[in-house]
């Protein structure tokens, strides 16, 4: 389905409080059709992910069981549950594919919210009858957004600094990490970098770092790991974040009419700032 991904990225925000209205039959059908479509798609590393649609009512599953989201979600109409193998590449690809799904739902004006640490994982396996041995790294409640925010939602957004974004000079660089990328130097890709900056991330850490090589017309993606972040989850949630950033970049750059190819096997000769900064992939653009 053709729609403006850039506009959807601009308009989307996390929704945790929904109206009591169930999703329309038309919207449910569109979501399920898109889930079928995305099942056959692969992320930049060539991996697929599993997605499950499960209807709920007042946080009660269709089987009549209460689910656990620590009170942060109210009146969700359904949940999208993701699953993948617990590897670096599978987590990155899941982040990419799940964000693609979420942006599609934004196009339908359906609210969503990435949840990675504020739900009881074991209950989702049991109560939603998920038959997979794979990891459930993230879920999203979905439904029609209710105007305004509950106190708990406002508090969570403030704690996570959800309404703030790091400045360009901390996220984007030219040629190497010594020179911050200016809007002027970004040229025709200025909007694309901004769409990456607007991406959601766990605790709003915004761990993506992009280095633009103007001569070769390519962008190198690095992940600036937050030390010890998410240790209790037993997987690195920030790999989802870099997958989200990669989807925002690709969706925006292709909408602007440029071609893109991901290269994941060749590390560029760029000195990283510290041991926590990891090369992930290179986006080779039209004239590369």
Q: pLDDT of 205-232, one tens digit each?
A: 999 999 999 999 999 999 999 998 878 8
What is the per-residue pLDDT for 59?
55
What is the per-residue pLDDT for 164?
83
Half-sphere exposure of 239 (CA within 13 A, CB side): 21
Using CB atoms within 10 Å of the CB of residue 268, give its burial: 0 to 12 exposed, 13 to 18 middle, 19+ buried.
middle
Between β-strands 139-143 and 111-112, what pairing exists: parallel, antiparallel or unpaired?
antiparallel
Q: pLDDT of 245-280, one tens digit each?
A: 999 999 999 999 999 999 999 899 999 999 999 999
Domains 5-155 and 168-285 in one fold: yes
Q: How far is CA 56 from the centre of its chain?
A: 23
Rounded alpha-carbon distances, angstroms, from residue 195 to 8, 9, 117: 10, 7, 25
Task: Provide the CATH number for the domain formed by 5-155 in this structure.
Answer: 3.40.109.10
What are the extents of the domains in the chain?
5-155, 168-285
What are the structure tokens assigned to 268, written together?
């560029």
pLDDT (mean) for 126-143: 84
Q: Which has the closest alpha carbon to 238: 188, 281, 201, 183?
A: 201
What is the per-residue pLDDT for 70?
47
Task: Mark 216-231 as b/e (b = at least 16 C-beta within 10 Å).
Answer: ebbbbbbbbbbeeebe
The answer to whether residues 92 and 243 touch, using CB atoms and an 8 Å cutoff, is yes
Q: pLDDT of 156-185, one tens digit each?
A: 544 444 458 899 999 999 999 999 999 999
Task: Provide the CATH number for the domain formed by 168-285 in this structure.
Answer: 3.40.109.30
């Amino acid at each position: 389905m053709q729609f403006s991904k850039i506009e959807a990225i601009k308009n989307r925000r996390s929704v945790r409080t929904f109206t009591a209205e169930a999703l329309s039959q038309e919207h449910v059908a569109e979501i399920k059709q898109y889930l079928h479509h995305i099942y056959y798609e692969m992320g930049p590393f060539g991996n697929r992910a599993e997605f499950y649609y499960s209807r709920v009512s007042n946080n009660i599953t269709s089987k009549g069981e209460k689910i656990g989201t620590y009170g942060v979600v109210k009146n969700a109409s359904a949940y999208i549950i993701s699953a993948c193998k617990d590897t670096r590449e599978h987590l990155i690809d899941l982040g990419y594919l799940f964000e693609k799904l979420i942006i599609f739902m934004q196009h339908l004006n359906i609210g969503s919210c990435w949840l990675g640490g504020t739900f009881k994982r074991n209950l989702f396996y049991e109560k939603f009858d998920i038959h997979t041995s794979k990891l459930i790294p993230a879920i999203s409640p979905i439904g029609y957004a209710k105007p305004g925010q509950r106190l708990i939602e406002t508090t969570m957004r403030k704690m996570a600094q959800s309404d703030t974004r790091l400045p360009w000079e901390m996220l984007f660089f030219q040629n190497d990490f010594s020179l911050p990328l200016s809007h002027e130097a970004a040229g025709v890709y200025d909007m694309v970098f901004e769409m990456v900056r607007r991406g959601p991330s766990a605790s709003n850490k915004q761990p993506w770092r992009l280095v633009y090589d103007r001569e070769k017309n390519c962008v190198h993606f690095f992940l600036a790991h937050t030390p010890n972040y998410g240790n209790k989850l037993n997987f690195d949630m920030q790999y989802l974040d870099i997958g989200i950033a990669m989807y925002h970049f690709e969706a925006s750059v292709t909408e602007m009419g440029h071609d893109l190819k991901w290269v994941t096997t060749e590390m560029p000769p760029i000195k990283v700032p510290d041991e926590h900064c990891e090369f992930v992939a290179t986006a080779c653009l039209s004239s590369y």
